Amino acid sequence: MRASWIEAALIAAGAIVGWYATRRWRLSAEPPPRPPSRDYLAGLNYLVNEQPDRAVEAFLRAVAVDQDTVETQFALGALFRRRGEVDRAIRVHQNLIARDTLDPAFREQATYALAQDYQRAGLYDRAEKLLLELSAGGTYRINALKDLLGLYEVEHEWERAIAIHRDLGRIGKPDQPSAIAHYHCELAEVARASGDTLKARELLRTARGELRRFPRAALLRADVALDLGDPAHAIKLLKKVPVESPQLASEVLPRLVRALKAAGRQAELAELVAELAGDGREVADALAYAAILTGQLDSPALLALARAFLGREPAVAEIVGALLPDGALLEDAALARLCAAIRRQAQRSARFRCGECGFASSGFFWQCPGCKSWDSLKPLSPSDLAGQVGGKRGR
Ligand SMILES: [Zn+2]
């Protein structure tokens, strides 16, 4: 509440500055301007005294009386949108745009503000129309392109998102360079779901052209290879992923087990796991944790990895150590039960967290639902999960 008040006070301060700016701008051409109305000053007073509703009423009265206060109207519109009163924000900005005499720079500002109102209200068609106008050129071009990108992502309009991402690439670096490779993967998933594996493969080739060493494309290519009855190729693709992207081990392991089974090469799992784990502790731990979370512990090689991994997890090691005599090892059956308990606990909690915004989720997403960053969700460790027990449940 206090933070939103600081924000509102800043908007009010901006409105005062704007009022003086408008005043100076008009000084040479027109008669001396009037001072701020009593309602406007009353509105400020309410803001300072943390009475938001009365402040908004006073500001509305001020604007109704003095239609020249363009900056005040912008401040009001922004305040309404932030408070979630989007209908009011839309009315304020529409009124501004409807003025015949409005300065072109203010008209552009009002159009962008209205597009933001429409986005906030979920009126995406209207927002898109205005953003397309603004993206043709002018002060708000880059903002409009970025907003369009976000809008097409929400609507899963991947081809349009690709075009906008390319436009952004031509006039400056897009905020998320890897996004375009994800858009191609999204399209490839659609093609694969409709049975068009040829198109899916072509799209995945383009995705790799956009971004080399792109693990999502490798996973999808492995899926397509499995669809086409080529598990050997799938195994070859999957082997590389945990080494380059250990955080995706839980996406890789079930696919790898499936591909080995399809190829009749289950016996190779132990060798493959040893080879991957030999790449370093990070990969070994990621694979072990993925095996625990996905319940792939039939293989003695994976169970051994899980034992070593849990021995290094402080929260788990301390509890297990307290239950066993000094130097004793947990038996395999007990270890499997412990892993199953951790899996059940993980299923009840958030398993992934966004490194950008902290959004916690029980499922994996390539794009964070909270902040819309790509590739920002990372798995939580068993110690993180232990910290969640009794705390907030994940989504
Ligand atoms: Zn996020």
- At 200 the pLDDT is 97
Cα 353 to middle of ligand 1, angstroms: 8
- At 34 the pLDDT is 62
Q: How many domains does the chain have?
A: 3
- Give the CATH number for residue 7: 1.25.40.10
What one-letter code names the amino acid at 343? R
- 180: in domain: no
Q: Clarify whether residues 9 and 104 are in a common domain.
A: yes
- At 392 the pLDDT is 44
- At 12 the pLDDT is 60
Domain holding 372, by residue range, is 350-395
**10-residue block means of pLDDT along the chain (395 residues)?**
54 55 49 68 81 76 67 87 92 89 92 97 97 95 96 96 95 88 98 96 95 93 96 96 92 95 93 89 90 88 90 80 76 89 87 94 93 92 64 43
Whole-angstrom Cα distance, residue 331 to residue 247?
28
Q: Clarify whether residues 136 and 26 are in a common domain.
A: yes
- At 76 the pLDDT is 85
Q: Clarify whether residues 298 and 376 are in a common domain.
A: no
The domain boundary, picked from 136, 171, 206, lies at 171
Please give the distance of CA 151 from its chain centroid, rounded to a whole number: 13
- 307: in domain: yes
The domain boundary, picked from 149, 171, 193, lies at 171
The domain boundary, picked from 171, 197, 213, lies at 171
Cα 375 to middle of ligand 1, angstroms: 9
Q: What ranges in the chain are assigned the alpha helix state H?
A: 2-27, 38-48, 52-65, 70-82, 86-98, 104-121, 124-135, 141-154, 158-171, 179-193, 197-210, 215-227, 231-244, 249-262, 269-277, 281-294, 300-312, 314-323, 332-348, 382-388
Angle at 208 between CA 205 and CA 209, to 5 degrees: 85
Q: Clarify whether residues 288 and 369 are in a common domain.
A: no
Q: Clarify whether residues 56 and 136 are in a common domain.
A: yes
Query: Which candidate, 166, 137, 136, 133, places its Cα nearest to that of 149?
Result: 166
Contacts of 247 by beta carbon, 8 Å cutoff, 6+ apart: 286, 378, 379
Whole-angstrom Cα distance, residue 187 to residue 209?
15
Whole-angstrom Cα distance, residue 225 to residue 244?
20
Q: Clarify whether residues 326 and 365 are in a common domain.
A: no
DSSP 68-134: T-HHHHHHHHHHHHHTT-HHHHHHHHHHHHH-TT--HHHHHHHHHHHHHHHHHHT-HHHHHHHHHHH
Cα 237 to middle of ligand 1, angstroms: 28
Cα 367 to middle of ligand 1, angstroms: 8
Residue 367: what are its φ and ψ, rounded to 5°? -115, 130
Q: Clarify whether residues 105 and 162 are in a common domain.
A: yes
Residue-wise pLDDT tens digits, 148-183:
999 999 999 999 999 999 999 998 778 899 999 999
Cα 112 to middle of ligand 1, angstroms: 25
DSSP 267: G
Q: Clarify whether residues 17 and 140 are in a common domain.
A: yes
| Encoded tokens for 6 | 């600081």
Cα 368 to middle of ligand 1, angstroms: 5
Q: Clarify whether residues 45 and 167 are in a common domain.
A: yes
Whole-angstrom Cα distance, residue 107 to residue 18?
16
Residue 268: what are its φ and ψ, rounded to 5°? -80, -10
